[in-house]
Structure 1
Amino acid sequence: MKTYYSNRAKIYEEVYFREDPIRQAELLQIQDVLKEKFTGKTVLEVACGTGYWTQYVAETAQHITAIDYSEEVLTIAKEKQLLSSKVSFVQGNAYKLNQLTKTFDGAYANFWLSHIPKENIFSFLEQFHAVLEKGSIVCMADNMYNEGIGGTLISKINDENTYKIRSLADGQQYEIIKNYYSKEELAAIFEPFATDLEIHMNTCFWFILYKVK
């Protein structure tokens, strides 16, 4: 998956500009929620990619520590020239957040949960919440399943994960984990960590909001 997103880095943000009014309205809603909820917060962003969401949160947050594993996407994120006093882009492992030397009172991880193997979700969330203060605001957003968008969805025998076959312009194909969740499944995943959990299921995207227990 790292290779796929690294090779796709230069065109990654094209997914946010598809000419679909429903899709655009939902993206704007997520953008507005992030800016509102993280106003004045010291924020952790996991899997920041090219900094698409970082640029909006930086408008209102006190500071963002934005982490990604791929040097290629971080290079593009840094080209946005966001103020260093507001944003620190860091190469890091989303599964080793305990190596961070600070804590946060806000966090988000957009379009990341669907790429986590289901057997690793609890361990990820445990160490994710370990660097967040009690009462911190958390937001996550990801894709709803829409047939025909984002590649062919496949399942495998004796594997609870689903996968997408994705192609790049040069013909290279990649198989990446892409899991989709119902409202009930999201509730079961996050309720152990959350108070005031809100789950919003829309046409193209879902997003959740909660406070850390």
Structure 2
Amino acid sequence: MIKPVNTDMAEYYAVRNNFDEEDIENPDGADALDDIMDNLRTLMTDQHVLELACGDGYWTDELAEYAASVLATDINPSLLEQAKTRELPEDVVQFAVADAMDPKVEGEFTACFAGFWWSHVRRQDQAEVIARIRKIIGENGLLVLVDNAQVDTEKTVIARTDLEGNTYQIHAAPNGERYEILKNYYTNSTLRKRLGPLLKDMRVHHSEHYWMLTARLR
């Protein structure tokens, strides 16, 4: 009997052990990633940042170098424990368990950042998610999103598309269990069409492997 594919995306990210390798450190996109890092430093220097879906702290490590403060959140306590092993400065970085889809956090923030998370937000939920972020960050707050562009490889094969246009991939965890993962890919024009009405001063930098969106919350 074939075991059903697991659809618990949070569980998948909790049990896998190659976060940086799989999602971020693509040698073919190294130059583009360097550009993103440079832009992120310019944007986030001296900002009070709410980071959503921080995972094992890859981006938190970067933000800690120049942000005034960072509250790094994730739905998985185990991933936060991994992030804490980076021994980031406690006077800058704090951690909290929170669902990025509906972050219930306290604090005063000037910016929100999410790396490789927006692709996991269902298309029909995006307006509501932006509204929740705006409620926390406030009008004119800075929003920065970074995610994967679609490149034709074995890792980017789409297994199915639902009625709302959301696309899904099948990934295997280290224990061999198969998971169905929501993974939406966007072009420059699609990002502008979908998020333009929700944001202002929006800019999208698109490379072959990554895209970076910066905007102000309306």
Whether these two folds match at TM > 0.5 is yes
* Structure 1 segments unaligned to the other structure (5+ residues): none
> Cα distance, 1:26 vs. partner?
1.2
**Residue type of the alignment partner of 1:191:** G
> Cα distance, 1:96 vs. partner?
2.2
In the other structure, the counterpart of 2:10 is 2
Percent identical pairs in the alignment equals 28
After superposition, residues 127-166 of structure 1 pair within 5 angstroms as: 127-156=132-161, 158-166=163-171
Alpha-carbon distance in 1 for matches of 2:181, 2:70? 28
> Cα distance, 1:19 vs. partner?
3.1
More strand by percentage: 1
Corresponding residue to 2:61 among 47, 55, 65: 55
In the other structure, the counterpart of 2:6 is none
Query: After the TM superposition, which segments of 4 or more aligned residues of structure 1 sit over 6 Å from their partners?
Result: none
Check if 1:187 corresponds to 2:192: yes
Q: In 2, are the aligned partners of 1:114 and 1:178 still within 8 Å (CA)?
A: yes
**Residue type of the alignment partner of 2:19:** Y
Q: In 1, are the aligned partners of 2:145 and 2:214 still within 8 Å (CA)?
A: yes
Check if 1:14 corresponds to 2:21: yes
CA spacing shift, 1:150–1:132, aligned 2, 3 Å: same
Check if 1:71 corresponds to 2:63: no
**Residue type of the alignment partner of 1:73:** L
> Cα distance, 1:201 vs. partner?
1.3
CA spacing shift, 1:157–1:137, aligned 2, 3 Å: closer
Corresponding residue to 1:100 among 89, 105, 128: 105
> Cα distance, 1:119 vs. partner?
1.4
In the other structure, the counterpart of 1:176 is 181
Check if 1:205 corresponds to 2:210: yes
Greater RCO, 1 or 2 (C-alpha within 8 Å, sep 6+): 2
Corresponding residue to 2:120 among 115, 124, 131: 115
Q: In 2, are the aligned partners of 1:151 and 1:166 still within 8 Å (CA)?
A: no
TM-score relative to the length of structure 2: 0.90
In the other structure, the counterpart of 1:125 is 130
Q: Say which SS state the counterpart of residue 18 (structure 2) adopts.
A: helix
Query: Which deviations, in whole Å up to 9, do the C-alpha atoms of 1:12-69 show, x marking residues without a partner?
Result: 112333432xx11111111111111111111111111111011111111000011100
* Structure 2 segments unaligned to the other structure (5+ residues): 1-8
Corresponding residue to 2:172 among 143, 162, 167: 167
Q: Say which SS state the counterpart of residue 95 (structure 2) adopts.
A: strand
Q: In 2, are the aligned partners of 1:36 and 1:60 still within 8 Å (CA)?
A: no
| Paired residues, number | 209
> Cα distance, 1:210 vs. partner?
1.3
